[in-house]
Amino acid sequence: MEDTEEEKKDEADYKRLHSFPLIRHSDMPEEMRIEAMELCVTACEKYATNNESAAKMIKETMDKKFGSSWHVVIGEGFGFEITHEVKNLLYMFFGGSLAVCVWKCS
C-alpha cells in the first residue's frame, strides 16, 4: 500500500516539476513571446493527447494575431533545420519532454 502512495507522490512531484514552459531559444519581441508561450501552454494542455490538434490551434491563432505563414511542430524526439523570418521564432519545452517549435516564413 505504501509503495503505490509513494509512487503517486513521486509522479505528482514530477508533473509539478515539469509543468512549466522552458524556452530554449526565442528571438521574438517580449510581448509576442509571452503571448505565443501562453498560447502553446494552453493548446498543449487542452489537447494533451493530440499534438496535431494543438499545433493546428497554435498556427491558426498566430495567423490571426500576427499575420499568416506561421508553422508549428509539436512532438518528442525530433530534429530540425529551418529558415525563418528574424524575430519570429520560438522553441520551447513543455511538460518535461514535449517540444514546441513555432516560426514564421515569408
| 3-state class (DSSP) for residue 35 | helix
Note the pLDDT of residue 15. 55
Pick the CATH number of 2-104 from 3.30.740.10, 3.40.50.970, 3.40.50.1980, 3.40.50.2300: 3.30.740.10
Cα distances (Å, whole numbers) of residue 13 to 21, 31, 49, 58, 96:
16, 31, 21, 28, 12
Domain ranges of the chain: 2-104
Q: What is the pLDDT of residue 49?
A: 92
Per residue in 41-87, pLDDT (tens digit) is 999 999 999 999 999 999 999 999 999 999 999 999 888 899 999 99
In eight-state DSSP terms, residue 18 is T
pLDDT for the residue numbered 39: 97
Report field, pTM of the whole predicted structure over 0.95: no
User: Which amino acid is present at 82?
Assistant: I
Burial label for 27, CB within 10 Å (0-12, 13-18, 19+), is middle
